């Protein structure tokens, strides 16, 4: 028997929760997920996290979401993957950004008939896009400075 749309949605919700919110940190009450934990494994961990996050986006596409929503979801995964590749800082970013929860909120909002994310989501989304770009520019500048200094 084929799972219903509600069954598929519930499985995606559980996967997103497992990846982003399944572990409560004692003492502070903040929740992280297995995405942040497996991201600690160099190379393989980040790739596995991106694969699982991509699975959520691919499954969300089955709901025939608008391209703009799917692009936001892909951008969330790309942002988390880009930042997650930076040792230590990326692991903290993974634990805070929670791309899978963001993507599930986008999916639910679309299915409930909502159009665009609230204004503050747009501002945050724009700001988060600028952070990886700024880091890349700084790293390239640092490499250029080191090369010119050493030569």
Extract the tokens encoding 145: 């400075």
Query: Is residue 150 situated within a structural domain?
Result: no
Longest dimension (CA), the chain: 68
Angle between helices 89-97 and 67-84 (to 10 degrees): 150
- Total domain count, the chain: 1
Report how far residue 27's alpha carbon sits from residue 82's, in angstroms, rounded to the nearest whole number. 30
Helices 5-20 and 44-61 pack at an angle, to 10 degrees, of 160
Q: Does a structural domain hold residue 24?
A: yes
Residue 38 belongs to some domain of the structure: yes
Summarize pLDDT for 33-89 with one digit per residue, the tens: 999 889 888 878 888 999 999 999 999 998 888 888 999 999 999 998 888 888 888
Query: pTM of the prediction?
Result: 0.73
Per-residue pLDDT at 112: 87
**Which residue range(s) make up the domain with 45?**
5-115
pLDDT in tens, 88-124: 888 888 889 999 999 999 999 999 886 555 554 555 5
Block residue for tokens 């969330």: 76
């Amino acid at each position: 028997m084929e799972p219903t749309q509600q069954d598929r949605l519930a499985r995606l919700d559980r996967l997103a929760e497992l990846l982003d919110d399944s572990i409560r940190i004692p003492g502070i009450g903040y929740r992280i997920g297995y995405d942040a934990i497996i991201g600690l494994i160099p190379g393989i961990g980040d790739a596995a996290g991106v694969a699982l996050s991509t699975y959520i986006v691919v499954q969300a596409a089955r709901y025939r979401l608008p391209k703009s929503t799917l692009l936001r979801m892909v951008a969330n995964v790309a942002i988390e993957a880009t930042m997650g590749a930076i040792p230590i800082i990326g692991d903290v970013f993974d634990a805070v950004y929670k791309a899978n929860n963001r993507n599930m909120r986008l999916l639910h909002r679309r299915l409930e008939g909502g159009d665009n994310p609230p204004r503050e989501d747009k501002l945050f989304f724009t700001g988060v896009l600028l952070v990886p770009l700024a880091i890349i520019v700084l790293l390239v500048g640092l490499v250029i400075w080191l090369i010119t200094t050493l030569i």
